[in-house]
Amino acid sequence: MKIMVTGDRGYIGSVLVPILISKKYSVVGLDSGYFADNLLENYNQDYYRITKDIRDVVKEDLEGVDGIIHLAGLSNDPLGEFSPKLTEDINYTGTIRLAEMAKKANVSRFVYASSQSMYGISDVSNELDEDNSEKNPVTAYAIAKWNAEKILNSMTNKSFTVTSFRPSTVFGVSPRLRCDIVFNNLLACAYTTGKIEIMSDGTPWRPIVHIQDVCSAFIAGIEAPSNLISGRAFNVGIPDGNFTVRDIAEAAQRSVPGSELIFTGEHTDPRTYKVSFDRILTELKDFYQPKWDLDMGGRELIEFFDRVEFTEKDFRSKSTIRLKQLLSLKKDDHLDNTLRLR
């Protein structure tokens, strides 16, 4: 079975592709190349790569492809706010165009990497479920994800299975590590400076999930029977997978004994939400069995930092901060006004 992974040279794609190859899938990668050089260690994977913006995909690029795992896009709230109009262009319009092209090319599965950020500001007395809970997207990134989901689900039919997975905030090791996501950021800060400084009071809720478990969910979108997943959304997380920012910071501190943890309380983040993972943990239990918790992920990250001799310069560099990389490409005139690589 041939699987196309869009965003194969990103944070999650760089972990997902080797897993698919190990499971004997034929893999095609499609990526604009924004972050291709942001490698912290060797990455030798033998598969076919297409370097192209998802907005420019043609039907011929998809010939022979059985399923698509669509990760590509401007990948979090700060990056999305860099240019809200282009975020819509890439994350919404580009996604719908890719799905339409996939239908024309007789692709049978379309797995969409959506986001829990669409829940936005919510009442934390209740855990949010996929269908009945109100969506309150407050950023360009979240709005694009929610709007794309609605259109994609309407495209589902008996020959085209669309599934949307809404991961919690991801953490864990990747050759193309990101330090602009909460647990990776806090642990990298502790490792390189001996200090974790939280600008809030630590009370907002953040569901988080390990990168390996997220990859397992996406693969479930390829392997599970169509009747279980077609036209449906799944929150991706672990049992008891809702944490306060304080919980996450304390886990990072445990991973770096002797590090200092400070809550300044100077910044208030209105985004807070607790999410239910009952659907994926029960209905897809034969295909999705999460294995990672915060402490395991912390140990893994420390081992990785030791192995690559990770420094504070790495932590604060464009190699691990996606917005800095994009701004650097723009400054050096490697991106045009539509964020296409020259």
3-state secondary structure labels for all residues of 79-115: HHHHCHHHHHHHHHHHHHHHHHHHHHCCCCEEEEECC
Is residue 263 one of the residues assigned to a domain? yes
Q: Is the dihedral of CA 204, 244, 117, 191 positive or negative?
A: positive
Is residue 308 one of the residues assigned to a domain? yes
Residue 269 sits in a domain whose CATH number is 3.40.50.720
Structural domain count, the chain: 1
In this predicted model, what pLDDT tens digit does every residue of 53-106 receive, in sequence order?
A: 999 999 999 999 999 999 999 987 666 667 889 999 999 999 999 999 999 999
Among 75-84, 208-217, 232-241, name the one with the lowest average pLDDT: 75-84
Cβ neighbours for 19, distance < 8 A, ≥ 6 positions apart: 212, 215, 219
Reported confidence tier of residue 281, pLDDT bands at 50, 70, 90: very high
Reported confidence tier of residue 272, pLDDT bands at 50, 70, 90: confident
Q: What is the mean pLDDT of the chain?
A: 95
Is residue 45 one of the residues assigned to a domain? yes
Alpha carbons 223 and 210: distance in angstroms, whole number: 20
Is residue 183 one of the residues assigned to a domain? yes
The pLDDT score that the predictor gives to residue 122 is 80
Residue with tokens 């990785």: 304
Is residue 341 one of the residues assigned to a domain? no
The pLDDT score that the predictor gives to residue 276 is 97
The pLDDT score that the predictor gives to residue 123 is 81
The pLDDT score that the predictor gives to residue 79 is 65
The predicted model scores a pTM of 0.96
Tally of CA atoms within 13 A in the half-sphere of 201 that contains its CB: 4
For residue 97, the enclosing domain spans 2-331
Is residue 300 one of the residues assigned to a domain? yes
Is residue 215 one of the residues assigned to a domain? yes
Alpha carbons 281 and 238: distance in angstroms, whole number: 8
Residue 194 has pLDDT above 80, yes or no: yes
Alpha carbons 171 and 213: distance in angstroms, whole number: 10
The pLDDT score that the predictor gives to residue 80 is 63
| Three-class secondary structure of residue 111 per DSSP | strand
Is residue 151 one of the residues assigned to a domain? yes
The pLDDT score that the predictor gives to residue 183 is 98
Reported confidence tier of residue 199, pLDDT bands at 50, 70, 90: confident
Q: Once rounded to an integer, what is the mean pLDDT over residues 193-209?
A: 93
